[in-house]
Amino acid sequence: MSLLDAATEIRERAYAPYSNFKVGAAIRATSGNVYQGCNVENVAYPEGTCAEAGAIAAMIAAGDSEIEEVVVIADSPLPVSPCGGCRQKLSEFGKGDVKVTMTTLEGNAQTMTLAELLPGVFTQAHMDNS
């Protein structure tokens, strides 16, 4: 299954009763394994958790720890990029050259690297003097 197919499939399982804005994400780890995540809203936190964070959690739970590629899909006129928190999380587990493809259900897609999505990312190197 392609990353796009995996992200599209999991998007349908999103729990978005407040916004009705479903997002799916799929991550391919360097091992070749694919992990999926979707957004989940709740009454106390209506904006919910992000699809990318769910895919990362699944990846870590399965024992993988390095991202090779990411796809995010939403029913939107323009491609939806990962939020700031997810950009940092993606950067924790992926190198700057990891491709992130953001796409719509209609196929309007944009691909950027993690470095382009999060310039000036905070890394372990910032704490080397500690």
pLDDT digits (tens, 9 = 90+) for 1-55: 899 999 999 999 999 999 899 999 999 999 999 999 999 998 777 667 899 999 9
Token pair belonging to 52: 């990318």
Token pair belonging to 114: 């993690």
Q: What is the CATH number of domain 3-127?
A: 3.40.140.10
Binding site members for Zn(2+):
50, 83, 86
Residues identified as active-site: 52
Domain boundaries, the chain: 3-127
The reported pTM is 0.92
Binding site members for substrate:
39-45
CA 111 to mean position of chain CA atoms: 13
Helices (H), 15-106: 51-61, 84-93
Asked if residue 39 lies in contact with residue 75, where contact means CB atoms within 8 angstroms, the answer is no
Token pair belonging to 47: 């904006």
CA distance 25 to 109: 14
